[in-house]
Chains A and B, each alone.
Chain A
Amino acid sequence: MIYRKQGGVARWENGTLIRVTESGAAREDGDLFECWPEPSNHAVDEPTSRRVVEIASSLQHLPVERLIVVHGAARHEYDGRTWSEETERIHLSLAHGQLRALVDSSTRRLDDWTTIAAALQRADPHDREPPRHLVLAPGVAAAVLPFLPNATQTAGGVDGYGNDIVDGGTQNFYRPSYRVRPVRMPHNLRLDHHVTAIDPDLPRAIALLAPPDSVALRVLVIDGESVYPTTAHVTKIEAVGREREWYPYGAGSFGAELML
C-alpha cells in the first residue's frame, strides 16, 4: 500500500521566511522503504506566512540565539483513509553569557519565554548541586517523558498509518514526513500520579539548558531570589500536576508540573 502526503509549511528561520509546498508518496515492501515526490491534485489550505512573521516579531525583544517558527498544513492518504492536520511549532534558544535556554513548544505559551529570558539575565553562571526537592515546569517535564517507562499514550487523533491513537496503546506509528520510515512510538505521552498537589514554594526548573540526557536534565532553577543552573535526575516523582499542555517532543508529550 502506498502512503501519500501533500502539504505546505511557512517557516521563519532566524530572520528568513521560507514557504515550502510539496507532495510525495512512500511504500514499504518487506524490509524495503521507498519514497518519492508525486504530484497531487488535492487542495490543501496554504499555511499563513503572516502568522509566523507576527510570532517571530513578538519575540524580537528577547535575547534570541535561534528562532524557528513553523506553521504547516497537510493532507494524508493511506489504505482508503484520508486525514488532515495543522501544526504550529516553535524552537527557540535564548542565550546569556555561557547559558543557553532551549524551548520547544507550540505557539500557546509565549508568555513563559519572557519569564525564562528574565531569569536567564540574572542567573548565576556556575552550576550548583540540585535541590533536594524540585518542581519541573510543564515545558521541562514534557521533554523527559519519552525517557520515563511509566509514561503512557493519550487518546486522540491518528498515527502515521491513519490508525486511531488509543489511550495506553503501544501499537501506533510515528511518521513525521513521507520521507521517513514510520517507527512504533507512543503518541501524546502523559504521566499519571495519585498525588497531584504541587508545593508552590519549592525551587522550580523553568527551562532546559541542554537536551535531556535520558533522565538527567540540565535546567535553569529559580529558588527564591536565586537563579542558577543545575543537573537534576528524574528518578523519584512525588506528584504530577493536573493541568497539562501539549509539547512537540517525540510524537507529542503532555507536560505537567512534576514534583521531584
Chain B
Amino acid sequence: MTRFAHAVREELWSRGRRVESRLAQGQAVEDAHGITATDARDDELVMLARHELERLHAVMPQDALVRLVAEASTEAITATMTVRLNGISIVTDPTHAARDIELLRRAAGGSAANRSAGFQPAGPPASSRPPLPLLWRNGTAALLLHEAHAHPLEHHLPPLPLPPWLRVEVPLQLRRATFRDVPLLRMQHVRVTQHDAPFALPPEHIEIHLIDGGAYDPLTDVVTLRIAASSVGPFTITERRGDFRFLGAEGEPQRYPGVICSREGQELVVGSYAPTLLTA
C-alpha cells in the first residue's frame, strides 16, 4: 500500500493584482483494488506550502501575468512561478526568478537594443521552420530532447539515436499532479551534456532563445516545438524525431527557465539543462 499527500497554494496575479487564489489538499492511498483519494488535510503540508507561497510573493514581478504554485507533498516541496509578458512566458522559481525574468523581458520587449542583441520580438508564429541550421541557446536544446528523446522513453519507445559526444540524462519515475490523479511514468528532469563535441558554426543559422511549448505524438513519432523567440522571430518546428541531425555542441549545460510538461491533463514541472546545441 502506498500513500501520497499534498497541499497546494496557487495564485494568479495580473499586473500586481491578485485575481485567483486556491488551496488544494488531499491524499491518495493505493492498494490492490485501486486508488482511494480524499481531500484530507495535513496541517504541516499546508503550512509548508504557505511558506513557499511567501517566497514566491517576494520575487514576483508587478507588471506581468503571474501564476504562483507552491506545493508541499510527501515527495517534494516546490515553488513555481509562470510569468507571461507580451504573449510569451517563462517558468521559474524563487532562486532563479531575477535572471529568468530578465531573459523574458529581453525576448518580449522588442526594443532596438534587444534586436541588436539577437532577439526578434514575439509575434504570430510563422507556419514552418526556415531551412537553416538551428543553434539552440539558453538551454533550449533540453526541450528538443524532452520531446524527441524523453517522451518516447515514457511511452517505452526506443531512445533517439544520439552522437557519441551527446548524453541525455532522463530519470523516470511515477509522478502525479494532484491527489486525484493516477500516477504515470514521467521524467523528473532532462540534463543534456556534451563531451568533446565538434562545433563549427555555419555563418547562416537561426538562434533559438525561448520556446513556448512542444508536443510529441507517439503514434506518428512527430515532434512539434513552438519557438517563441529566435533570431528570425517565432516559428514552429514539426518533424519526425529521427529527422533531427545533431551537428555539434559547446559549453556547459545551462538551466532553461522551466518547463511545465502536460500529459493526460497532468501538469508537472520538469527541470531542463542543456549546452548550446547545433542541429540541422
Q: Are B34 and A37 in contact (CB under 8 A)?
A: no
Q: Which of B22, B34, B37, B219 contacts A98 (CB 8 A)?
A: B219
Known: A14-B182, A20-B180. A37 touches B39 (CB 8 A): yes
- Tell me how far the C-beta of A7 lies from the nearest C-beta in chain B, rounded to whole angstroms: 11
Residues on B lying within 8 angstroms of A by beta carbon are: 17-26, 28, 33-39, 41, 179-182, 219-220, 264
A20 to B27, CA, bound (A): 10
- Further contacts, 13 of them, CB under 8 A, given A19-B35, A32-B19: A17-B33, A18-B181, A19-B36, A19-B37, A20-B38, A21-B37, A22-B38, A24-B39, A32-B21, A34-B22, A37-B26, A99-B219, A179-B24
On chain B, the residues within 8 Å of A35 by CB distance are 21-23
A55 in contact (CB, < 8 A) = no
Q: Which of B22, B24, B37 contacts A20 (CB 8 A)?
A: B37
Known: A16-B35, A32-B20, A98-B219. A37 touches B41 (CB 8 A): yes
Q: Are A16 and B34 in contact (CB under 8 A)?
A: yes
Give the interface residue-count category, chain A: 20 to 34
On chain A, the residues within 8 Å of B23 by CB distance are 35-37
Q: List 9 A-B contacts (CB under 8 A).
A: A16-B35, A18-B182, A19-B36, A20-B38, A33-B19, A34-B20, A34-B21, A37-B25, A95-B219
On chain B, the residues within 8 Å of A16 by CB distance are 34-35, 182
Known: A98-B220, A179-B24. A31 touches B19 (CB 8 A): yes
A17 to B36, CA, bound (A): 9
Q: Are A13 and B39 in contact (CB under 8 A)?
A: no
A223 in contact (CB, < 8 A) = no
A31 to B219, CA, bound (A): 43
Chain B residue nearest to A93 (CB atoms) is B219
On chain A, the residues within 8 Å of B39 by CB distance are 21-24, 37
- Tell me how far the C-beta of A65 lies from the nearest C-beta in chain B, rounded to whole angstroms: 7
On chain B, the residues within 8 Å of A23 by CB distance are 39
- Tell me how far the C-beta of A60 lies from the nearest C-beta in chain B, rounded to whole angstroms: 17
Contact with B along A56-67 (1 / 0, CB 8 A): 000000000110
